[in-house]
Amino acid sequence: MPADQPLGEFQLIDRFFARARRPTRADVILGVGDDAAVLRLPADHDLVAAIDTVVAGRHFPFDSPPHSIGHRVLAVNLSDLAAMGATPLWATLALTLPAADGEWLGEFAGGLLRLADEEGVALVGGDTTAGPLTISVSILGSVERGTALGRAGGRAGDVLVVTGTLGDAGAGLGLCMGRLAPMDPAAAEALVKRFQYPTARVAFGRAARGIASAAMDLSDGLVGDLPKLAAASGLAARVDVARLPLSDALRRSLPIGPARELALAAGDDYELLLAVPAPRLAELEAAARRLNLMLTAIGELIPGDGVEWLLEGASYAAPSSGFDHFR
């Protein structure tokens, strides 16, 4: 920023998040601008809380459009609440920035606040600090008492289903990073958009309560995440790799083998993985249809531990781990 126009931290926050000072929800008793927010939870609801961080150069390329970074950091948090069947209500933002760049902040705030408006989420507080670009959002929501979906409720025989298609965001990131060459411009654009603007499956998560037995979101890829759901439920899982839902855009951009590897291991799709008792699968499918959301059965929970990956009846060597930040 120009040296003749220094902007202090507080002015910056005021300028770009000014709208957040006027609470859009009646349950925000005290929002941005005090030491903490005061919030009114609906009666007979539990609080649902998660925190997720995105780091420049790690979770997104340094040159990502700031608007997409703002969208993405909120979407990945919304996805955690979606996996619980919770309704997102409020968010706080911890923003660490190398410099007070007005243009960057304006676009970032625009992306974050647009999605917040779409989902009815109020930004109720935050902290801005100088440092390497790192952004955490703490998301807060509610769920009717006793109805939250966890990872531990799966039972042997439950069908494993996933929403949407898998691997798109991984291919989109590969295209952004120049590791994957675009074959088809329209497909490439669709894949990049899936990485930059993920959609949290909030409405479906809510609809799945009382039907699904367990749920989680796919942030680290199926090979990283499914073992956690299976272990939390005290079970093993079996997956038919041929049934993984792959988008047309992904199929047009990659041969089937690499497309499946992305669907298994790339992460960043923010689709939901659910376990559902077989007799109730039709109900869950109906709920997905009402939301115009694809739902695909990919396998089942079975006694034991670990995950068995199969392709045409034979054992399939899945990539050995999901996205693990320290490997």
Query: Which residue of 15, 18, 22, 29 would you call a contact of its own copies, by CB under 8 A?
Result: 29
Nearest to 90 by CA among 30, 151, 135: 30
Rounded to a whole number of angstroms, the minimum distance from the CB of residue 93 to its own copies is 7
Among 24, 49, 65, 197, binds its own copies (CB under 8 A): 49
Q: How far apart, in whole angstroms, are the C-alpha atoms of residue 277 and residue 297?
A: 12
Minimum distance from CB of 138 to its own copies (Å)?
4
Judged by CB under 8 A, does residue 306 bind its own copies?
Answer: no
Question: Whole-angstrom Cα distance, residue 230 to residue 237?
Answer: 6
**x-marked contacts with its own copies along 197-236 as a string, rule CB under 8 A:** ------------------xxx----------x---x----
The answer to whether residues 163 and 201 touch, using CB atoms and an 8 Å cutoff, is yes
One character per residue 122-151, x = contact with its own copies (rule: CB under 8 A): --xxxxxxxxx-x-x-xxxx-x-x--x-xx
The correct pick among 8, 257, 279, 303 for binding its own copies (CB under 8 A) is 8
53 binds its own copies (CB under 8 A): yes
Helix (H) or strand (E) holding 130: strand 122-130
Q: Which of residues 239-278 bind its own copies (CB under 8 A)?
A: none
Give whichever of 41 and 281 is closer to its own copies, judged by the CB atom. 41
Tell which one of 21, 22, 34, 305 touches its own copies (CB under 8 A).
Answer: 34
Cα separations in angstroms, 279 against 53, 233, 234, 282, 296:
38, 19, 21, 7, 16
Spatial strand order of the sheet with 159-163 comes to 214-217, 272-276, 159-163, 295-302, 236-240, 307-311, 314-315
